[in-house]
Chains A and B, each alone.
Chain A
């Protein structure tokens, strides 16, 4: 990111706080609600406004308790949404292990080898399947 971009701290914070506790404007379907009731008001109403800002919605899906949950929440969610887990099909232990190792070895997640195993176990417990013996290895990017 270059210094030419200003993060509008006070504006964004105000909108974020104001967004809480208000009804969602998004969907009539209860399963699809998201807290961007005030997002639209954050958009520039005048096209000649030189500062263009948005406020991103947020998502905190509930995660079931279990061994490794704390490590998962601490180490993984700091960089990406937990939806990176929940959108995947059920993968084998080998595939999840490969994914968690990639996070540590390639992207530099701050986790120990022991935590790699704990997090893998947790991911298998919430979105895993039995090993098939030919788990496709993970890859980079998409």
Chain B
């Protein structure tokens, strides 16, 4: 049961008295300099942004693995009423709207009636790295860990839509999950894709990540996977697919998750963009995995530098590394590609001659020449892809 139900059941006063006697996260307002670590059901220790609804960030060291473990994969919900119990005997994925044959599919049906389809793909929160924007902007104060790479297995959305027999004239397809708003005035979290995108054969309904069932807080029993697009479209605990003969419209697409229409979603704090569009494909970026910030390296011997880089599916073709604050750049070695929507690992070896403080930088470029930005800002803190940097000490 969820907390909201509990409060409704016994009343706020009773709940307060009860929780007062429980163990709980001991945070002190305004004084926290180190992140709180927390362990949610089916998850390992993760960085706690918020607990209700949960927003959990992946500790950087998990990115030393090509596939992010399910237990460490980042979590981000919008609405207080998140699903905490699912009965697979009664759960159905409802496909309706502008179709000839509405469907009610169980998870068993998805397993048994369709060819399994797998894809390795990065899922990244629109606001990943938000805490690095200056001036700071309100929202989830993520560092670089609102991202993960997983092998997703399930059914291409196209196969499901074909089974439902989409009628001519379909425009959009909307996706709703089991989460529910805490007040009637809060818009339910529903997202949509164009019918062409929905039928591209890559957008999929996943019942497994890394060959295991999804953790509840990552969208059990099924979630939408939209390769190359920001996580806001990857609707969790997916329960309703609706084909529409007109453009979809709601708060979460008309007002939220919009970016300035100009290059790389950038605008000036002093001159906010007038035209905005829905956030969509990933830009190209890299993340330093090793060394971690403030790590101490050693002079006179090779130090291994490592990171990941990804884009929206064109493929990372080059990563350059600088160890002198951007003065000179050398090519990093790239690991083999794991798929066009996967991230790609890069490595370099660095032998600093002298002790001291250094700023390491990394710049990824994809197959169509998209690269990382020199500077970037938008009011929502979306799409961070400034050239990566990490400050380290050589001792």
Answer yes or no: do A and B interact. Answer: yes
Q: Are B186 and A39 in contact (CB under 8 A)?
A: no
- Residues on A lying within 8 angstroms of B by beta carbon are 1-2, 4-9, 11-13, 16-17, 19-24, 26-27, 29-37, 39-40, 42-43, 47, 50-64, 78-81, 83-91, 95, 99, 106-110, 126-127, 132, 134, 136-142
**Is B39 within 8 A of A5, CB to CB?**
no
A141 partner residues in chain B, CB cutoff 8 A? 78, 126, 232, 252, 255-257, 380
New contact pairs (11) apart from A53-B86, A57-B40, A139-B138, CB-CB < 8 Å: A24-B23, A31-B26, A32-B38, A32-B45, A55-B1, A56-B52, A63-B29, A79-B80, A80-B50, A81-B53, A83-B49
CA distance in complex: A118, B301 (Å): 59
Inter-chain contact A127/B29, CB cutoff 8 Å: yes
Contact between B1 and A79, CB atoms less than 8 A apart: no
When distances are taken between beta carbons in the complex, the residues of chain A under 8 Å from B183 are: 79, 107-110
- Whether a CB of chain A sits under 8 angstroms from the CB of B270 is yes
Known: A1-B179, A7-B2, A12-B6. A52 touches B88 (CB 8 A): yes
What are the residues of chain A within 8 A of B274 when measuring CB–CB?
none
CB of A56 within 8 A of CB of B40, answer yes
Note all chain B residues with C-beta closer than 8 A to A95: 138
Closest to B183 in A: A108
Confirm or deny: B100 has a beta carbon within 8 angstroms of a beta carbon on chain A: no
User: Nearest-CB distance from B15 to chain A (Å)?
Assistant: 9
Instruction: From A11, A34, A81, give the contact of B1 (CB < 8 A).
Output: A11
Residues of B within 8 A of A107 (CB): 183, 185-186
Q: What does DSSP make chain B's interface, helix, strand, loop or mixed?
A: loop
- Distance (whole angstroms) from the CB of A29 to the closest CB of chain B: 7
A108 CB → nearest B CB, Å: 2
B3 within 8 A of A: yes
Q: Can you list 14 contacts pairing A with B, beta carbon distance less than 8 Å? A: A5-B83, A5-B178, A31-B34, A34-B38, A34-B39, A54-B41, A56-B41, A58-B22, A81-B52, A109-B183, A134-B269, A140-B251, A142-B139, A142-B257
Given contacts A53-B84, A58-B24, A127-B30, contact A108 B186 (CB under 8 A): yes
Option from B20, B83, B138 in Cβ contact (under 8 Å) with A88: B138
The stretch that binds A, out of B89-97, B290-298, B327-335, is B89-97
Q: Nearest Cβ in chain B — how far from A11, in angstroms? A: 7
| Contact of B18 with A86 in the complex, beta carbons under 8 Å | no
Cross-interface CB contact of A43 among B3, B5, B41, B221, cutoff 8 Å: B41
Interface size class of B (residues with CB under 8 A): 35 or more
State whether B140 touches A142 (Cβ < 8 A). yes
* Closest B residue, CB atoms, query A108: B185
Q: Which of B20, B30, B54 has the most CB of A within 10 A?
A: B30
Counting chain B CB atoms within 10 Å of each CB, the highest count among A19, A62, A136 belongs to: A136
Known: A4-B92, A5-B85. A57 touches B380 (CB 8 A): no
B residues in contact with A24, CB < 8 Å: 23
Chain B residue nearest to A54 in the complex (CB):
B41
CB within 8 Å of A: which B2-23 residues: 2-3, 5-7, 9, 12, 16, 18-23
Determine if B239 is an interface residue (Cβ-Cβ < 8 Å): yes
Q: Is the CB of A23 within 8 A of B23?
A: yes
Specify the chain B residue showing the minimal Cβ separation from A49.
B88
Which residues of the partner chain A approach B139 to less than 8 Å between Cβ atoms?
Answer: 139, 142
Contact A89 B141 (CB under 8 A): yes
A4 to B106 CA separation, bound complex (whole angstroms): 11
B87: interface (CB < 8 Å): yes
**Contacts A5-B87, A57-B51 known; A20 to B21 CB distance under 8 Å?**
yes
Alpha-carbon distance A87/B140, docked complex (angstroms) = 7
Chain B residues lying within 8 Å of A16, measured Cβ to Cβ, are 1, 6, 18
A9 touches B9 (CB 8 A): yes
A59 to B20, CA, bound (A): 10
Closest residue on chain A to residue B80 by CB atoms: A79
